[in-house]
């Protein structure tokens, strides 16, 4: 199926049947009438997932069903395949709505690099294997756990205390004699020698690169890993490079990746009661802290901008973490996202659209249209 530019946007409206979802264009004109219990973004293949009578189906840009609403759950397409679930289990579907798998699975992950991780039950024990894009079982169901493929490789657990690195055909590239080996991240793998001990990093050949000294770690991204040095349920997050050197000291109550070589760093608003919430700032991956702890939430960067809230309003920030004042600032807490040339807001549990000057996309027109569809 050809990739298309999609300029229809899900919008909810009140009708005599309650809240219903349809689709508008960038001018606010109603293109697909409000009839669904939930409507999701159109994907680049021109298809969108909708919910109708508590079941999920797929429509095209004309509002016609490509797949009738008959599934209990449905994931967005990944590599031209969608994972769907019915009363029997999980299946693989192509963009024409054809089910490619010959049987149902206990679980299926989205496709990565032409492989989908799947599970079945063998003699009462869950086992992992992999399917190809045709829904065929290409790597046998023999693993106790498994990761998604990345850079042509995946980490699988063969038995307790024994992990392996495999390629896309299931060939074993390396064996690791540890109780835990984590997902691949830029050529390094988190590992744990014994249960309840600390984590370090090995390379793909099994050489120890960073000694175990962390209570928690994340895979390397952009040459950095977020690690936890906290003990006794008190988190102390820091950022390390591939030599194990701290770029950001482990003094933060929270930390997460923002892409664009940026990190969100969080401090508890009340150090004695960290469960009451945190305030966040922005740092780069070299340890330069760009802002104070001004924000209650920050979303990942996209095209040089990120959405942030300060508890009172929601707005865009630039790569220095500073508000962008020539783009909309919206009262309330939530997220702003560019959808083509317009901006979608999801703020205080309501979804709306506006242009880059902050002018609403003719939502009053929708209210006029309700009389036609109520």
Please give the pLDDT value at position 368.
45
Please give the pLDDT value at position 373.
47
Average pLDDT value for residue range 184-200: 97
Average pLDDT value for residue range 70-83: 98
What are 2-12's pLDDT values in tens digits?
Answer: 565 668 999 98
Average pLDDT value for residue range 221-228: 98
The string of DSSP codes covering 78-143 is BTTBEEEEETTEEEEE-TTS-B--SS-BSEEPPPBTTBEEEEEEETTEEEEEEE-TTS-EEEEEEE
Do residues 174 and 204 make contact, with C-beta atoms less than 8 angstroms apart? yes
What are 97-153's pLDDT values in tens digits?
Answer: 999 999 999 999 999 999 999 999 998 999 999 999 999 999 999 999 999 999 999
Exposed/middle/buried for residue 72 (C-beta within 10 Å: 0-12, 13-18, 19+): exposed
Average pLDDT, the chain: 94
Q: Does the pLDDT of residue 289 top 60, yes or no?
A: yes
In sign, the C-alpha dihedral spanning 173, 174, 179, 185 is: negative
Lowest average pLDDT, out of 69-83, 186-200, 301-315, 353-367, goes to 353-367
Residue of 38, 29, 78 lying closest to 59 (CA atoms): 38
What's the rounded Cα separation, in Å, for the pair 79 and 348?
Answer: 33
Please give the pLDDT value at position 273.
84
Q: Which residues contact 300 (CB under 8 A, 6 or more apart)?
A: 257, 258, 259, 260, 306
Q: Does the pLDDT of residue 287 top 80, yes or no?
A: yes
Residue of 22, 47, 16, 46 lying closest to 34 (CA atoms): 22
Q: What percent of the chain has pLDDT over 70?
A: 95
Average pLDDT value for residue range 245-250: 99
Please give the pLDDT value at position 367.
47
What are 262-278's pLDDT values in tens digits?
Answer: 999 999 999 888 888 99
Average pLDDT value for residue range 235-259: 98
């Amino acid at each position: 199926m050809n990739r298309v530019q999609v300029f229809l946007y899900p919008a909810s409206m009140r009708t005599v049947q309650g809240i219903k979802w349809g689709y508008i264009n960038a001018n606010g004109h109603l293109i697909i009438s409000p009839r669904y219990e939930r409507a999701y973004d159109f994907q680049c293949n021109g298809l969108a997932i909708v919910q109708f009578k508590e079941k999920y189906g797929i429509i095209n840009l004309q509002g016609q069903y490509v797949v009738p609403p008959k599934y209990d759950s449905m994931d967005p397409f990944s590599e031209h395949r969608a994972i769907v679930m019915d009363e029997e289990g999980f299946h693989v579907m192509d963009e024409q709505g054809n089910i490619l798998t010959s049987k149902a699975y206990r679980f299926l992950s989205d496709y990565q690099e032409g492989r989908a991780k799947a599970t079945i039950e063998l003699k009462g024990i869950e086992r992992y294997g992999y399917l190809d894009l045709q829904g065929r079982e290409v790597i046998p169901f023999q693993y106790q756990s498994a990761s998604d493929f990345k850079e042509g490789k995946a980490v699988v657990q063969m038995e307790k205390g024994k992990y392996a690195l495999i390629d896309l055909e299931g060939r074993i590239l390396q064996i690791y004699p540890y109780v835990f080996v984590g997902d691949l991240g830029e050529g390094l793998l988190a590992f744990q020698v014994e249960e309840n001990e600390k984590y370090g990093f090995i390379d793909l050949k099994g050489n120890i690169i960073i000694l175990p000294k962390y209570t928690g770690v994340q895979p390397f991204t952009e040459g950095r890993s977020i690690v936890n040095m906290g003990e006794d349920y008190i988190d102390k997050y820091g950022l390390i490079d591939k030599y194990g050197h701290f770029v950001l000291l482990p003094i933060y109550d929270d930390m997460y990746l923002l892409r664009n070589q940026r990190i969100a760093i969080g401090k508890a608003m009340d150090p004695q009661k960290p469960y009451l919430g945190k305030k966040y700032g922005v740092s780069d991956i070299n340890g330069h802290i760009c802002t104070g702890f001004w924000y209650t939430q920050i979303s990942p960067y996209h095209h040089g901008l990120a959405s942030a809230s300060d508890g009172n309003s929601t707005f865009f920030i630039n790569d220095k973490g500073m508000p962008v004042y020539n783009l909309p600032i919206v009262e309330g807490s939530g997220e702003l996202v560019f959808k083509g040339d317009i901006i979608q807001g999801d703020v205080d549990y309501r979804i709306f659209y506006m242009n880059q000057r902050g002018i609403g996309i003719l939502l009053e027109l929708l209210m006029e249209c309700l009389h036609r569809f109520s």
